[in-house]
Amino acid sequence: MTATQTMPLREGAVRRRFDATQPIFYGFAAILCVLIVLPVYWLFYYSVSDKSGHFTLGNFGRLFSDPTFIDPLITTFILSVSTGLICCVVAAPMGWLVARTDLPGSRLVRHLVTASFVTPPFLGAIAWELLAAPNSGLLNKFYRVVTGAPQDEHLFNIYSFPGLAFVIACYTFPYVFVLVANALDRIPGDLEDASSILGGKTWATARRVTIPLVLPALLAGALVAFLQAMTLFGSPAILALPAGFHTMTTKIWSMFQYPPKPELAAAASLPLLVLTVILLRAEHMILGRRGYSVIGGKSGEPRLIKLGRWRWPALGLCFVVLLNPIVLPYGALLNAALSPVASQPVTFATMTLYNIHWVFFELSTTKIAVWNTIVLGFGTATIGTVLAVVIAYLVTRRVMRGYRVLAFLATAPVAIPGIVLGVGLFLTYTQPPFVLYGTLWILLIAFVTLSLPSAYQQLQSAVRVVHPELEDASRILGATRLRALWQVTAPLLRTSVIATWCFIFVGTIRELSAAIMLFTSETKVISVLIFDLNESGDLAAISVLGIMMLIITFAVVIAINRIPGFGSLRLRNS
């Protein structure tokens, strides 16, 4: 038999071979739909149902008429506006100093802002408890020693509305800083040079050229800060509840205390969800309309403004700002971890390792929390990365019908606050046929869902860089799409895939908002254990666990930044 006679047989064998590509791709699409649609559906269902399962709008009526619900709503709005204003006032000048002036140490300032970026806000709130609690806070004790003030007098009270706004702003202003600094970095120097040629002074150029160009980024940053303050759970739970007031997130959480009120919790979650969607859409519209075009060649580098004698005072001002989210909190945690009494300053004579020994060898819940966190971190990072790679590939290459729907679903969780997702998953998986409450599976689903938008967006950008001709060549040689993705595209995405895996891992170990709604005694993670220990007042143990969390986080961040070609870590909200 000749070669030409055997060719049809080989082609027929190839045609008869089962190709699992399409079923697998549709399976990934189905998983995505289940992750997003089910919790939102049950959230809506419970919000319009009474205890008997009948349709009603009474839950919303009670929500908007009962003062116990109205007060948290108003408080949350005022808190979010206050935080947004504080972040803009602090971050915009810092961004300008770093991006457009000859500020010494500007690179160090950027790195320190990144450090405040990766610090979990709830851990920062606990650190400020150590610093500014009215009676036991280290700063208040120092104030009384220096001034001789009586024991019942204090300079700071972190258990107050201003204290809560201050702490949230400490860990939210980096979002505004990054947006403003990046916008300033992208403004061509040609535009400002043209203003100078026409006689514009430095401040006139800034007012008429630079500020209008950066204003959209500043407004978008204000919206992000507003959104972060509105959806945070940890900081309000730690600081607002002892002060005697609720925000919407803590109010939703309280509805699951005995006796539970799932219908009211679902009704309270929906306005938070809707408002989040509106704010994110507004941010997208603002950033989508920003920009400028330069005609006629390559634009010049941004023109740095000479600060002259103000260089070092400006740098000092930046470091004073960075004391609040980094230096003082980290110092307070380290002091509490090594001190016999968390609220007492440690000295070489009193320094002890007992707290570290007690946490890791005597506290029974530590081992299970660390083990659960590691398992969930690795599981979430692996599953989330694989899911994001496949979905990004399907959308970018338009492999299947409905790819636009997949793109929408992959980015939709960014509009779902963690506490709202936790409520939705609780309502979904505490009833047949999927009873997952009390297992690590429900936490895994929550963490994968929350991490998906940022992972998808990062990998989608990476897939676009890989030219489809490489995959086409593989398919011409007989490979299926799935095999081409596995053997051609995925290896080319190796750097982005590793970075995304690390990014998801970091987000998982610091997640609290969703975990606080879904944990049981056997499924605690480190963030929940820290929250529980705070309620019992064991600040020394919290400090040890918090420092361990920070060490892991910074180790992963440093590892990511050492990946060739990746650059600096880009973080979201969570």
How far CA 496 is from CA of 8, 9, 565, in Å, comes to 42, 41, 9
| Least confident range of 143-157, 410-424, 494-508, 549-563 | 549-563
Place of tokens 């987000």: 507
* Rounded distance between C-alpha atoms, residue 101 and residue 205, angstroms: 14
Stretch (H or E) spanning 225? helix 211-231
Q: What is the 3-state secondary structure (H, E, C) of 242-298?
A: HHCCCCHHHHHHHCCCCCCCHHHHHHHHHHHHHHHHHHHHHHHHHHHHCCCCCCCCC
Instruction: Note the pLDDT of residue 290.
Output: 47
pLDDT score at 140: 94
The whole-number pLDDT of residue 4 equals: 44
- Say how far apart CA 164 and CA 161 lie, in whole Å: 5
pLDDT at 25: 79
Question: pLDDT digit string (tens) for 448-468?
Answer: 999 999 899 888 888 888 877
Provide DSSP, 353-407: SHHHHIIIII-HHHHHHHHHHHHHHHHHHHHHHHHHHHHHHHHHHT-STTHHHHH
CA–CA dist 527, 378 (Å, integer): 16
Q: Which two tokens stand for residue 146?
A: 């220096």
What lies within 8 Å, CB to CB, of 477 at 6+ separation is none
**CATH 1.10.3720.10 location in the chain:** 21-56+349-574, 66-293+309-338
Q: Which string of DSSP letters, residue by residue, matches 60-97?
A: HHHHTT-HHHHHHHHHHHHHHHHHHHHHHHHHHHHHHH
pLDDT confidence of 244, banded at 50, 70, 90?
Answer: very high
* Residue 568's pLDDT band (cuts 50, 70, 90): very low
CATH architecture of the domain with residue range 21-56+349-574: Orthogonal Bundle (1.10)
Q: Helix (H, G, I), strand (E, B), or coil: what is residue 517?
A: helix
Q: Are 82 and 535 in contact (CB under 8 A)?
A: no
| Both tokens assigned to 552 | 């892991």
12-50 pLDDT tens trace: 444 445 556 678 778 888 888 888 899 999 999 999 998
Q: What is the mean pLDDT of residues 77-104?
A: 92
Average pLDDT over the chain reads: 85
Among 3-12, 142-151, 200-209, where is mean pLDDT lowest? 3-12
| Residue 199: pLDDT over 50 | yes
pLDDT at 376 over 90: yes
For residue 275, pLDDT over 70 is answered with yes
Listed range (408-412, 515-519, 569-573) with the worst mean pLDDT? 569-573
CATH architecture assignment, domain 66-293+309-338: Orthogonal Bundle (1.10)
pLDDT digits (tens, 9 = 90+) for 491-524: 888 888 888 998 899 899 989 999 999 999 999 9
